[in-house]
């Protein structure tokens, strides 16, 4: 049994349905006419020969249906019939339909939500050039030593040691989650942000759209009041003001911070 001949015959049937039907009609017509001619030659009157030929043949529609099935179109036809039947039944019981649709919608929605999360967190690369070379090293306890935890936060001391000694990284930067209070510019609000070292932007391989990244002078104790605004905050709270550079925008109890 050759798979190709089946595929060919299926494709032909699907793509040229009208043509195939026409061929079937023509083929059977030829059969009837040839048979009728033979009957006439055998002495049957012209007028009844074709009718006799039809009678001899038996159920033509039945034979056609069997031919279609033999070509392997039966399953497409019956699929269409099933679809039509299904639609009719669904329309007949709207309560069931609503529950089924709702179930499907919730299921699909949940899957899509989970996927977009997994996609964003696990599958999609970070939006930085050379993002595969950005790593987040972790401090782990020495093997065999139980310190109550496997991972430890980086301290200032470890970070200083890492940057001072020879290390395998091109750039090393530190950052830490923090919240900041924004006042003096519309409604006061609490903002999520990072405290970041000078190399933060060069390590990610990006630069601020406006202004500059932190300098080494600003990376000293006592100079922690320079901020770089996120694009979203700049647009939402400061109306994308291009002259914001150098302005005091944030106040944390009694001390100002300059936007950079």
Partner 1 sequence: VAKPIDLLQGTLDMLILKAVSLGPLHGYGVLLRIQQISKDRLEIQQGSLYPALYRLEHQGWIASEWGESENKRKAKYYRLTAAGKRRFQAETEKWNRMADVIAGILSTRPEEV
Burial class (CB in 10 A: 0-12, 13-18, 19+), 182: buried
Please select the residue that binds partner 1; options are 52, 72, 97, 208, rule is CB under 8 A: 72
Question: Which one, of 151, 196, 203, lies nearest residue 174 by Cα?
Answer: 196
Sign of the alpha-carbon torsion through 227, 232, 237, 240: positive
CA 163 to chain CA mean position, Å: 40
Please select the residue that binds partner 1; options are 11, 16, 22, 23, rule is CB under 8 A: 23
Please select the residue that binds partner 1; options are 25, 66, 150, 236, rule is CB under 8 A: 66
If binding is defined by CB under 8 A, does position 18 make contact with partner 1? no
Q: What is the largest CA-CA distance in the chain?
A: 121
Comparison of 66 and 236: residue with beta carbon closer to partner 1: 66
Asked if 28 and 60 touch (Cβ cutoff 8 Å), the reply is yes
Question: Which pairs with CB-CB distance under 8 Å and at least 24 residues apart come from 124-132?
Answer: 128/204, 128/205, 128/206, 129/205, 129/206, 130/205
If binding is defined by CB under 8 A, does position 60 make contact with partner 1? yes
Asked if 72 and 9 touch (Cβ cutoff 8 Å), the reply is yes
Site mask for partner 1 (CB under 8 A), range 106-145, x = bound: ----------------------------------------
Please select the residue that binds partner 1; options are 11, 14, 25, 69, rule is CB under 8 A: 69
Residue 84 Cβ, how far from partner 1 at the closest point, in Å?
25
Comparison of 31 and 237: residue with beta carbon closer to partner 1: 31
Comparison of 27 and 77: residue with beta carbon closer to partner 1: 27
**Phi first, then psi: what are they for 174, rounded to 5°?**
-120, 150
Instruction: State the Cα–Cα distance between residues 20 and 213, nearest whole angstrom.
Output: 72
If binding is defined by CB under 8 A, does position 63 make contact with partner 1? yes
Comparison of 59 and 148: residue with beta carbon closer to partner 1: 59
Residue 12 Cβ, how far from partner 1 at the closest point, in Å?
10
Asked if 57 and 66 touch (Cβ cutoff 8 Å), the reply is no
Q: What is the number of other CB atoms lying within 10 angstroms of the CB of residue 94?
A: 10
Please select the residue that binds partner 1; options are 21, 37, 218, 219, rule is CB under 8 A: 37
Between residue 40 and residue 59, which ones bind partner 1 under the rule CB under 8 A?
56-59
Comparison of 57 and 169: residue with beta carbon closer to partner 1: 57
Instruction: Return residues touching partner 1 (CB under 8 A).
Output: 1-2, 4-6, 9, 23-24, 26-28, 30-31, 33-35, 37, 56-60, 62-63, 66-67, 69-72
């Amino acid at each position: 049994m050759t798979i190709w001949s089946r595929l060919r015959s299926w494709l032909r049937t699907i793509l040229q349905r009208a043509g195939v039907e026409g061929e079937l009609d023509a083929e059977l017509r030829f059969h009837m006419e040839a048979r009728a001619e033979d009957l006439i030659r055998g002495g049957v009157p012209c007028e009844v020969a074709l009718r006799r030929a039809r009678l001899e043949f038996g159920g033509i529609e039945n034979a056609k249906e069997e031919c279609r099935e033999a070509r392997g179109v039966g399953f497409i036809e019956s699929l269409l019939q099933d679809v039509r039947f299904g639609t009719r039944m669904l329309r007949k019981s709207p309560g069931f339909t609503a529950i089924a649709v709702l179930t499907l919608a919730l299921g699909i929605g949940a899957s899509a939500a989970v996927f977009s999360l997994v996609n964003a967190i696990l599958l999609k690369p970070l939006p930085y050039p050379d993002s595969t070379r950005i790593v987040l090293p972790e401090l782990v306890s020495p093997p065999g030593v139980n310190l109550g935890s496997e991972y430890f936060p980086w301290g200032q001391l470890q970070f200083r040691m890492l940057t001072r000694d020879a290390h395998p990284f091109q750039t090393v930067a530190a950052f830490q989650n923090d919240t900041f209070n924004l006042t003096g510019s519309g409604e006061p609000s609490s903002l999520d942000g990072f405290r970041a070292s000078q190399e933060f932007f060069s390590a990610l391989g990006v630069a601020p759209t406006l202004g500059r990244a932190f300098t080494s002078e600003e990376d000293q104790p006592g100079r922690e009041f320079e901020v770089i605004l996120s694009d979203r905050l700049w647009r939402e709270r400061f109306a994308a003001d291009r002259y914001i550079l150098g302005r005091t925008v944030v106040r944390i109890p009694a001390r100002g911070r300059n936007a950079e």
